[in-house]
Structure 1
């Protein structure tokens, strides 16, 4: 069984690892779609800090990831077909956007499963970036006195 999930995977952290290890527990092959900077700009205010090629390389270094490939449009159906996904793992913030509904219909029509997971409560790339900025501001204020 091929398990497919998608994300930005900027500033790889333990929450990402938990998601990917969970995906590995569901099937034989874990395929990860990595959002390009252009795609990320469609739903997040800032572009990723880590370049796309490096995010893919980090994911492929994990034992629980077999395939990592970029996606350049909010069209999950094409990659689901390409990797022959049997299960599509989505996050709790998936929502009811048209591109999401399209892949849901495709998967259901083809006898495939969608599994929704909760995010790891202690980490997110956004929180890590905010902590770095806060620490930098504290350090800058301390050294500028």
Structure 2
């Protein structure tokens, strides 16, 4: 398990907090892609898109390589694995908390059972249907 410091985690989660950057990572799951291929589906200027790539690169989530005039990006999954390990500690905590809550609610239900819902037979059977005709014109109603 990789040990991450607070600055690294802040950078990583900040990079993952933006939908555009998450879509770029999803696109890179299929393999290496050029910057222009990655930018194409996003409705923004290339300089604005490049800022997103810089954030991902600074967080260690992607690697860029230049081949002639083409800049390609590749997914670097190791920081996400480390973040997943960090989150797993809290998953164990919350699973324990939710298990405790479930045991408490189950025990409480045994002690204080809920009353059964009212049956449909409790409703009046011979109630008249609502009237579809309006009454006489009121004082504000136009004639």
The answer to whether TM tops 0.5 is: no
Q: Higher relative CO (CA 8 A, sep ≥ 6), structure 1 or 2?
A: 1
Q: Larger helix proportion, structure 1 or 2?
A: 2
Flag the structure with larger Rg.
2
Q: Larger strand proportion, structure 1 or 2?
A: 1
Which TM-score applies when normalising by structure 2? 0.32
